[in-house]
Amino acid sequence: MTAMPPPVRIIVADDHQVVRTGFAALLDTQPDFTVTGTASDGAEAVRLCRELRPDVVLMDVRMPGMDGIEATRELAGSGAGGPRILILTTFDLDEYVYDALRAGASGFLLKDVSAERLFDAVRVIAAGDALLAPAVTRRLISEFALLHPKPDAPSTAALAALTPRETQVLRLVAEGLSNPEIAARLVVTEETVKTHVSRVLSKLGLRDRTQAVVTAYESGLVVPRSIGSSRHGGRGALRPGELPGLPRDQRQGDP
């Protein structure tokens, strides 16, 4: 008889008590989740994470004092073994989401997300084998990587440490492919893909595949095909699974 894996340990960080307790209660309905703590600001979230060592943090992007972006940066910079961070946002500011992803977050959700999508997102983030909502994540990263280049973006020289196969795997990760999809594309085992992904992350000093996508675009390894249609100005925030540049009722992204 196969032993059940341990539950995903979660911390919820949001400055609004109703939101914080609501998400915590919702997550606790799932047998494979356990909420180990809640925080009302970024500093408390960082402290709790260091004490309780959760697997996933649901992090509000804007909180008083230390916000979600800075808290993400602190947790992501603490080395291997840190929690994966899922950003929660109600704001129509895509660049905040991009900055959070760049700081080390693994994905994002709007706060009005359905319960099932929330549960699925936490499981995807905890597993780490695929991007959350790959279509919208890639488009958002490609837009802001090009429109707002960062001075500390990795150079092509940093990619020279990768083998040809590792570079190929990085390109496929940047396309939004999961490990099983990459294995099928390259006709190798999933374990081989996991090994290549781990080596790419280690050589480039990255924490997970979301930052690998950011690096692939910022370094120029992957060039957006066209961002003209994805410039959506003072636009509403995108829901994971939706594509920018379309009315909300017409947006339909990758499953």
Q: How many domains does the chain have?
A: 2
- Of the pLDDT bands very low, low, confident and very high (cuts 50, 70, 90), residue 3 is confident
The whole-number average pLDDT for the span 80-106 is 84
Asked if the structure places residue 80 within a domain, the reply is yes
Residues 118 and 81 in one domain: yes
Asked if the structure places residue 231 within a domain, the reply is no
CA distance 36 to 69: 21
Choose between 51 and 149: higher pLDDT: 51
Mean pLDDT check: name the lowest of 23-37, 66-80, 138-152. 138-152
Mean pLDDT check: name the lowest of 33-37, 101-105, 148-152. 148-152
Q: Residue 187 is part of which domain span?
A: 152-218
Residues 122 and 159 in one domain: no
Beta bridge partners of 60: 88
For 42, other C-beta atoms within 10 Å of its C-beta total 27
CA distance 18 to 27: 14
Global pTM reads 0.81
- Position 116 scores a pLDDT of 95
At 117-164, the pLDDT tens digits run: 999 999 999 998 888 888 888 888 888 887 766 666 666 677 889 999
On the question of pLDDT at 201 being above 70, the answer is yes
On the question of pLDDT at 247 being above 60, the answer is no
